């Protein structure tokens, strides 16, 4: 699910990263909340959640509002900063941290993908962070897409290019109101961004195949080669 959120609040959340949130409209950034159920994977079978902000890296020019930002995202030229990425298995936690720099830790993540609906819930230390529900059952295919995932670890910024293809795509403008916890610090951060609110758009994909390249790393605040 993608949401329009206050850019100043989002920027304050990621200020230590050296990145700048990508503004779709002046003062409005994009927040993505995701769930992924990995079935066949070198890191094992596991569930994953993610809190992501499309961003600009140091040295990248700011695009024109709306069409410029949309074009950059559509062409895979906007990096996706992985702010948080909980998973429900130990091995992928350590591999994700030390290979790609992703901020993984073990949490409870429940995912259900039915014929007409898909849903997920993310809990940390027994407290709800967020829950999502979306339409499913679409038959559209996903052409190969390429985009960069960004993360911060050990004083460095990490960039990993990934590609994905898929089938069973369902796209909806708007969507269901998410459920946001009310006591966990991470849930409070989502509330500070203005959630719960209707998403800008909602996507579910029944089958997807993802491939990731070896990561690049630079000092925080430096441009990638």
Q: What is the pLDDT of residues 16-39, one digit of tens each?
A: 999 999 999 999 999 999 999 999
Is pLDDT at 42 greater than 80 in this prediction?
no
Residues sharing a CB contact under 8 Å with residue 75, sequence separation 6 or more, in sequence order: none
pLDDT band at 216 (very low <50, low <70, confident <90, very high): very high
Spatial distance between the Cα atoms of 220 and 214, rounded to a whole number of angstroms: 19
Give the residue among 119, 133, 117 at the shortest CA–CA distance from 176.
Answer: 133
Report which of residues 99 and 41 the model is more confident about. Answer: 99
Residues sharing a CB contact under 8 Å with residue 161, sequence separation 6 or more, in sequence order: 146, 147, 148, 149, 212, 213
Residues sharing a CB contact under 8 Å with residue 27, sequence separation 6 or more, in sequence order: 6, 7, 8
Q: What would the two tokens of residue 99 be? A: 């290979």
Alpha helix segments (H runs only) across the chain = 7-13, 67-74, 90-95, 185-192
Q: What is the pLDDT of residues 165-198, one digit of tens each?
A: 999 999 999 999 999 999 999 999 999 999 999 9
- This prediction has a pTM of 0.96
């Amino acid at each position: 699910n993608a949401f329009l959120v206050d850019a100043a609040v989002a920027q304050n959340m990621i200020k230590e990263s050296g990145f700048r949130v990508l503004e779709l409209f002046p003062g409005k950034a994009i927040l993505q909340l995701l769930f992924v159920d990995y079935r066949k994977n070198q890191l094992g079978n596991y569930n994953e959640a993610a809190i992501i902000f499309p961003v600009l890296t140091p040295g990248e020019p700011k695009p024109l509002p709306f069409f410029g930002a949309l074009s950059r995202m559509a062409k895979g030229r906007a990096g996706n900063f992985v702010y948080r990425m909980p998973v429900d298995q130990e091995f992928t936690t350590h591999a994700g941290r030390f290979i790609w720099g992703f901020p993984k830790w073990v949490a409870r993540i429940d995912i259900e993908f039915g014929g007409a609906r898909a849903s997920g819930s993310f809990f940390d230390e027994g407290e709800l962070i967020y829950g999502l529900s979306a339409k499913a059952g679409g038959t559209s295919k996903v052409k190969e897409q390429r985009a960069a995932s960004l993360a911060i670890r050990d004083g460095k910024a990490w960039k990993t290019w990934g590609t994905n293809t898929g089938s069973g795509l369902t796209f909806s403008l708007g969507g269901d109101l998410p459920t946001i916890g009310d006591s966990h610090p991470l849930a409070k951060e989502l509330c500070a961004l203005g959630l719960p609110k209707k998403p800008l758009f909602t996507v579910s994909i029944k089958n997807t195949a993802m491939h990731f390249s070896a990561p690049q790393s630079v000092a925080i605040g430096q441009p990638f080669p």
